[in-house]
Every structure is written in structure tokens, then in C-alpha cells.
């Protein structure tokens, strides 16, 4: 079974700084998807960024980028020029390429951006 581990329960940075959230996962499969989801306080969870394992290029979405290290089974999220609106819970998630459509989530990292 796949597992996802986020080893940083909480992080806090100043506005405009860059922050990196860590995620490791365990799987025996070669093709799969990885995701970062954001859950703002009292609001619904939304997708931040997605990476397909068969793509070597790291995904980027504006200020958000990932460092995908397939051999190390590591998938970190970098937020550049952090903003107050980035304050949220962040979840890393894994999905098999084929078969069951369910996502397996990590424990989450609570990120606080301070003014």
C-alpha cells in the first residue's frame, strides 16, 4: 500500500519569503500522480499543483513549484514570494496512474505567513 509522509506539522515564515514544504512517499509503482492541495482556514480544499511521475520536468504554477525527486521518492513544494493568503493547511497526496481513483494523503503541514 502507498503511504505519504509530511514530516513538518507546522511552519511559519514572513511575508515575501520563500518556503519549502516537504513530502515523501512510498510506492512500488513506476507511474503515478502526485498533488499538493491547499486548505485555507474554514474554506474548502483546492488543488495547488500536480505532477505526473513519468514527466521529468518539475511542475510550476505561478509562485508555486515542486522539486520532484523520483528516485528519492520526494516531492517538495516551494512557495516563492509568500503572501498572507498562502496561510493554510497543505496536503501532499499520491494517486496510482491506473486503477483505483482514490488519493492517499499525508498528515498535512500548517503554514502561517506572518505580516
Partner 1 sequence: DVKVTQSSRYLVKRTGEKVFLECVQDMDHENMFWYRQDPGLGLRLIYFSYDVKMKEKGDIPEGYSVSREKKERFSLILESASTNQTSMYLCASSSMLAGGPTGELFFGEGSRLTVL
Span interacting with partner 1, options 11-19, 41-49, 64-72, 79-87, rule CB under 8 A: 41-49
Comparing CB distances to partner 1, the nearer of 63 and 102 is 102
**Shortest Å distance, C-beta 114 to partner 1:** 21
CB-CB contact of 86 with 34 (8 Å):
no
99: Cβ–Cβ under 8 A, 6 or more apart, which residues?
A: none
- Indicate whether 103 belongs to the interface with partner 1 (CB under 8 A): yes
Picking from 107, 111, 93, 103, the residue whose alpha carbon sits closest to that of residue 18 is 111
- Indicate whether 46 belongs to the interface with partner 1 (CB under 8 A): yes
* Cα gap 59→35, rounded to integer Å: 10
Span interacting with partner 1, options 16-24, 70-78, 80-88, 99-107, rule CB under 8 A: 99-107
- Indicate whether 51 belongs to the interface with partner 1 (CB under 8 A): no
Comparing CB distances to partner 1, the nearer of 64 and 105 is 105
Q: Where are the beta strands (DSSP E) in the chain?
A: 3-5, 10-14, 19-21, 24-26, 32-39, 46-52, 60-61, 64-69, 74-79, 88-96, 104-105, 109-114
- Indicate whether 85 belongs to the interface with partner 1 (CB under 8 A): no
Question: Which residues sit at the interface with partner 1, rule CB under 8 A?
Answer: 4, 6, 9, 33, 35, 37, 43-47, 50, 91, 95, 100-108
Amino acid at each position: 500500500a502507498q503511504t505519504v509522509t509530511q514530516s513538518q506539522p507546522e511552519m511559519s515564515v514572513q511575508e515575501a519569503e520563500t518556503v519549502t514544504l516537504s513530502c515523501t512517499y512510498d510506492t512500488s509503482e513506476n507511474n503515478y500522480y502526485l498533488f499538493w492541495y491547499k486548505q485555507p482556514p474554514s474554506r474548502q480544499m483546492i488543488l495547488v499543483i500536480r505532477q505526473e511521475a513519468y514527466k521529468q520536468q518539475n511542475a510550476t504554477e505561478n509562485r508555486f513549484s515542486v522539486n520532484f525527486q523520483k528516485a528519492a521518492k520526494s516531492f517538495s513544494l516551494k512557495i516563492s514570494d509568500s503572501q498572507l493568503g498562502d496561510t493554510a493547511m497543505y496536503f501532499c497526496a499520491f494517486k496510482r496512474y491506473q486503477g483505483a481513483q482514490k488519493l492517499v494523503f499525508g498528515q498535512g503541514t500548517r503554514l502561517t505567513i506572518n505580516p
